Amino acid sequence: MQIGIVARLDVHKAIELAGEVADFLINKDIDIFLDSSVVEKLDKYHDFAKDLQDMDVDVIIAIGGDGTILRTQSFIDGKNIPIFGINMGTVGFLTEIGPEETFHAIKEVLNGNYFIEERTRLEVWHNREVAPALNEVVLMTRKPAKMLHLEIRVDDEIVEELRADGLIIATPSGSTAYSMSAGGPIVDPRVNAFIIVPICPFKLGSRPTVVSGESVISVKLLREGKKAIAVIDGQFEEEINYMEEIIFKKSDQNAYFVRLTKEFYKKVREKLMKGGIGLE
């Protein structure tokens, strides 16, 4: 087995843990690659350095929060490499375990006691195919306190002409991220669906909508003189101009995660409580 290691670069403890994981795996004669950016921070393991986008391994251990997972996925797009997340962020819905469980969990993976979970991604088109989303695409203005005027279609049927601060198109994975904060529902990742969530809509009747995962969603910018930006998983931006359409549909390429348990709802409850939202 070959294993890649990446880590959140702005948290010293995450970088330290990456080094400890590297030592642990080397001592077990596992072939490893360590993200070049992490090697620079540690100033050691130079013989194991490899840029993330060049890794072709069996598993990538990502040490950080959901942002680290999303960044990792964007660099390995199309390779179908499963990611094993160790949470060093705040809530971390996409990560599997806490740092205190790291080495026990890695032993379980090395012993084959894990399964691979598939997560749906969102294909995004704007005159061309742009980066796919694992969590969500957020449409917003570049200027605070300015509204967008949008036409939303699902399978060529108009769903809404919307005036709002923005719009979120989310996958089930993204239903526990920005979409949830904006009032969208939590959706089990096994559900074949996407979520359309207005951000602070002018009309109170504009509510979140769950649509089939087989649908094609298109959003058109209706207000002349205003531009929008589409922010994809917080990683990439695409500028949208007046009367241009941005189109969303299910990607043919899923994301893959190494999991030790199948307890989705238990994990959601625990993460929400850690994030400051108590569930009775």
Q: Which active-site residues does the annotation give?
A: 66
Q: In this structure, which amino acid lies at residue 172?
A: P
Answer for the pair 197, 185: CB distance below 8 angstroms, yes or no. no
Residue bearing tokens 């993330």 = 52
Answer for the pair 218, 245: CB distance below 8 angstroms, yes or no. yes
Residue bearing tokens 């999303």 = 70
Angle at Cα 232 formed by Cα 223 and Cα 206, nearest 5°?
50
* DSSP 8-state class, residue 97: B
Closest CA to 227 of 126, 136, 140: 140
Q: How far apart are CA 139 and CA 223, in angstroms?
A: 14
- φ, ψ of residue 73 to 5 degrees: the values are -60, -35
Closest CA to 70 of 122, 112, 22, 21: 122
Q: How far apart are CA 165 and CA 117, in angstroms?
A: 34
